[in-house]
A and B are shown apart, each in its own frame.
Chain A
Amino acid sequence: MSEVKKVATRESYGNALVELGKKHEELVVLDADLAGATKTGMFKKEFPERFFDCGIAEANMTGIAAGFAACGKVPFMSSFAMFAAGRAFEQVRNSIGYPHLNVKIGATHAGISVGEDGATHQCNEDIALMRTIPGMVVINPCDAVEARAAVLAAYEYEGPVYLRFGRLAIPVINDEADYQFEIGKGIVLREGCDVTIAATGLCVNEALGAARMLSEHGIEAEVINIHTIKPLDEELVLASAAKTKRVVTVEEHSVIGGLGSAVCDLLSEKAPTHVLKIGIQDVFGESGPALELIRRYGLDAENIYKKVKAFVE
């Protein structure tokens, strides 16, 4: 068996910015002293005149991005998720969301897979925060291929978009050649009739692993990749829930306000269904190697498998 290629989605983000920058003069990139980590440094190297380092001042960066957008530019602003969505939340809401300006927020280092830096830098609340802002699109790609496609789609979309990327190199599970991305359209990766597993971000691959284990025990899980949390692919979730009657959500994010909540919001109103939310269970993270943390917080294939099995039985 060949070695699985692993690439961090932030790496793909950096490459996609350069790709877009070559075609579109109006694209500008802003960062807050994290260009090396967020990978916007790639764009800086290629297009220094269109790169704006705002220093360690995320609130101001958000407003500057709004100003660029108000003048017809297409700004991508980056920092860690904790600071882009957390610290600058009110700036994102009032200076970007309210006027519906065409700003793209490329937030990296989301979730506990930040690893050793620990709880202060592990943002498990960004999806919740961003999806409460009217008109904000929230995308959480599952691998490098999807990340590139999401960045290109975000550029084409007119309006604010929050893009969530990770620090950790993760398996590339999509095939670049035939991968199709559409904002707001989930992707069925595996069909099944016993349980639906709706996953997002790096948990998609773990969910696929769990599904294989479940299959060995006679449980056929339908695995759906929800790369766009807002707007949620309601049709797809409702159809799958109607088929399997049981839904599990998996995310590297708090179970409060993220994908699990979005799915529950939908199902409780339109098709009451029993839901199990797998994610960060209302706790802060901690320091440690990313893969160990993913296991410790129950987001790896083995843990997902156990929880889904117990849920189904």
Chain B
Amino acid sequence: MENLQLQKVANEIRKGIVTAVHSAKSGHPGGSLSAADIIAYLYFEEMNVDPMHPRKPDRDRFVLSKGHVAPALYATLAHRGFFPVADLSSLRHVGSYLQGHPDMKHIPGVDMSTGSLGQGFSAAVGMAASGKLDSSGYRVYALAGDGEIQEGQIWEAAMFAGHRKLDNLVLIVDNNDLQIDGKLEEVCSPYPIDKKFEAFNFHVITIDGHDFDAIRGAFREARETKGMPTAIIANTVKGKGVSFMEHQASWHGSAPNDEQFEIAMEELKKAGEALCQR
């Protein structure tokens, strides 16, 4: 898929995120929007998945370790054909299968239930180790938040992955630089992130997480890297694509009201139209 096509898909995913969170009247738009391009790339270009057979054994796996950005994953899965796009409006509603955080038991295409920060990456590491044991060719991708890596369990998992040389594993850190309480550096700095993962025996690639050329190059490099797992540090903008949400920690976990929803959707509509003109 060409970059322009990926940009259009990502824009539709952003509409899905805003629609779902607005409908739920709660949720996490900021980090969903920052991760949208990466998740779009994974499901529309990088990963071997089949919406008709979401559990096929040789599929690539994706673990959303920062489970609160479920709207980004759900919107992507819906647009990829795992379930109807219309269902996004049922996010967080009583009786809906679209739970506030990913639920592998009930949502087609979700490979691991996550939400409690730090835990998803360990499961991804287990999946990668399992693939190695079977000499299966599938690859495992995990997306963590930059705030999430404050959890000690992330580093326990990184130590194991580096020690076991899991080169079928890629961790993407969505480095939007903001967490609930503010800027990472003001809360409890995890920097330098790249040097930490290097020290844990990862191959580290730092990219602009909204540049599809850079994203494409990083995942290609990860595939070519043997004998060690890869960490992609993706510099992103929290709230990317919705002007009033960008760079705002306050949009970490709050939903737009009706008026804000209209403005956001109008912006995304215009962005989509601009892409179609190209």
A binds B: yes
Is B95 at the interface (CB under 8 A from chain A)?
no
Contacts of B57 in A (CB 8 A): 72
Task: Check if A71 sits within 8 Å of B122, measured CB to CB.
Answer: no
8 Å CB contacts to B: which residues of A90-147?
A: 90-91, 94-95, 98-100
Contacts of B156 in A (CB 8 A): 54-55, 57, 59-60
Find chain B residues with CB under 8 A from A99 CB.
103-105, 112-113
Residue of B whose beta carbon sits closest to that of A103: B126
Considering only residues 88-134 of chain B, those with a C-beta below 8 Å from chain A are 103-105, 111-113, 115-116, 118-131, 133-134
Indicate if A28 sits at the interface (CB-CB under 8 A): yes
B129 touches A60 (CB 8 A): no
In the complex, whether B242 has a CB less than 8 A from a CB of chain A is: no
A60 and B122 contacting across the interface, CB-CB below 8 Å:
yes
Taking a contact as CB atoms under 8 Å apart, the answer to whether A66 and B105 are in contact is no
Interface residue from B105, B111, B153 paired with A59 (Cβ < 8 Å): B153
Question: Given A57-B160, A60-B153, A100-B105, do A71 and B121 touch, yes or no (CB 8 Å)?
Answer: no
Contact between chains at A98 and B123 (CB < 8 Å): no
CB distance from B127 to the nearest CB of A (A): 4
**CB within 8 Å of B: which A51-87 residues:** 52, 54-55, 57, 59-60, 62-73, 75
Structural contact, A70 and B160, CB atoms closer than 8 A = no
* Residues of A contacting B: mostly: helix
- A63: chain B residues within 8 A (beta carbon): 119-123, 125-126, 153, 157
What is the interface residue range for chain B against chain A?
20 to 34
Give the one of A59, A60, A75 with max B CB within 10 A. A60
A135–B85 Cα gap in the complex (Å)? 32
Closest A-chain residue to B151, C-beta based? A59
Q: Is B6 an interface position by the 8 A CB rule?
A: no
Rounded to whole angstroms, the CA-CA distance of A303 and B154 in the bound complex is 48
* Chain A, Cβ-Cβ closest to B132: A49
Docked Cα-Cα span, A239 to B110, in Å, equals 45
| Max count, chain B CB within 10 A of own CB: residue among A52, A66, A67 | A67
Q: Are A94 and B129 within 8 A (Cβ)?
A: no
Which of chain B's residues have a CB closer than 8 A to the CB of A57? 153, 156, 159-160
Contact status of A60 and B125, CB under 8 A, knowing A67-B130, A70-B104, A72-B57: yes
Contact of B122 among A52, A55, A62, A72 (CB under 8 A): A62
A-chain residues with CB within 8 Å of residue B128 when the two chains form the complex: 67
B117 CB to closest chain A CB (Å) equals: 10
How long is the Cα–Cα vector from A62 to B121 in the complex, in angstroms? 11
A90–B160 touching, CB < 8 Å: no
Q: Would B126 and A94 count as touching, CB distance under 8 A?
A: no
Question: A95: which B residues are within 8 A, CB to CB?
Answer: 113, 116, 119, 122-123
Residues of A within 8 A of B130 (CB): 28, 67-68, 71-73
A99 vs B103: C-alpha distance when bound (angstroms): 7
Taking a contact as CB atoms under 8 Å apart, the answer to whether A60 and B133 are in contact is no
Give the distance in Å from the alpha carbon of A91 to the alpha carbon of B61 in the complex.
20
A309 within 8 Å of B (CB atoms): no
Given contacts A49-B133, A99-B104, contact A64 B126 (CB under 8 A): yes
Determine the chain A residues whose CB is within 8 A of the CB of B157 once the complex forms.
60, 63-64
Residue in A59, A60, A70 whose beta carbon sits within 8 Å of that of B127 in the complex? A70
Closest to B116 in A: A94
Select from chain B the residue with minimum beta-carbon distance to A56.
B156
Task: Report Cα–Cα, A99/B229, bound state, in Å.
Answer: 26
A266 to B153, CA, bound (A): 38
Q: Which of A144-171 contact B (CB under 8 A)?
A: none
- CB of B107, distance to nearest CB on chain A (Å): 11
Q: Residue A65 contacts which of B112, B121, B126 (CB distance < 8 angstroms)? A: B126
B178 CB, nearest partner CB in chain A, Å: 24
Q: A253 vs B105: C-alpha distance in the bound complex, in angstroms?
A: 33
Q: Mark B153-167, 1 if CB is under 8 A from A, else 0.
A: 100110110010000
Residues of B within 8 A of A245 (CB): none
Residues of A within 8 A of B112 (CB): 66-67, 70, 99
List B contacts of A190 (CB < 8 A). Answer: none
Q: List 22 A-B contacts (CB under 8 A).
A: A28-B130, A55-B156, A57-B153, A60-B125, A63-B121, A63-B157, A64-B122, A66-B123, A67-B112, A67-B122, A67-B127, A67-B129, A68-B129, A71-B126, A72-B130, A73-B133, A91-B116, A94-B113, A94-B119, A95-B113, A98-B103, A99-B105
Given A59-B153, A67-B129, 8 other A-B residues pairs in contact with their CB atoms under 8 A: A49-B133, A60-B122, A60-B159, A62-B122, A63-B120, A67-B112, A68-B126, A71-B61
